[in-house]
Amino acid sequence: MTTVSLLSDEEVSAEALAVFTEIREVRGTDFINNFWRAMAHDPALLRATWDRLRVVMAPGALDPLVKEMLYVAVSTANGCSYCVHSHTAAAKAKGMSDEMYGEVLAVIGMAMQTNGLATGLQVEVDEVFLG
């Protein structure tokens, strides 16, 4: 359960509703997920988060699918259940195949493992990596 109520379209402020309208236009769907309905309690935070997300996740030197997979990786390491679910769904919607998903998980598992080993051993960084 969210710590705040999930606001319906009827309950949000005009400023928040304007963000919802943009989300709907960009995504081509009427559906607004719970994250945004919870954030709508603070329209300025909602606006800033959405504006930045839209820029960061847009196609650039990396394609949007790679960005979604990076998002899943970070969210998994941070243990954010909501974010893992929403961005795994987004990655699938953007074309992540079962094979790709398996490899994302394998890399996450591998990285977590060597993160533990390198931190446990407190390995000093090689000079060559320091440029």
Q: Quick one: 26 or 118, whose CB is closer to its own copies? A: 118
Return the number of the residue (17 or 105) whose C-beta is nearest its own copies: 105
Residue 59 C-beta: closest distance to its own copies, Å: 10
CA dihedral 4, 10, 13, 17 (to 10 degrees): 100
- Residue nearer to its own copies on the CB measure, 10 or 59: 59
Shortest reach from residue 21's CB to its own copies, in Å: 19
Burial zone of 25 (CB within 10 Å; 0-12 exposed, 13-18 middle, 19+ buried): exposed
Angle ∠(82,83,87) on CA atoms, nearest 5: 125
Cβ burial of 94 (10 Å; 0-12, 13-18, 19+) is middle
| Closer residue to its own copies in complex, CB, 28/131 | 131
Tell me the closest approach of the beta carbon of residue 84 to its own copies, in angstroms. 6
Contact by Cβ (8 Å): 20, 11:
no
Minimum distance, C-beta of residue 99 to its own copies, in the bound complex (Å): 4
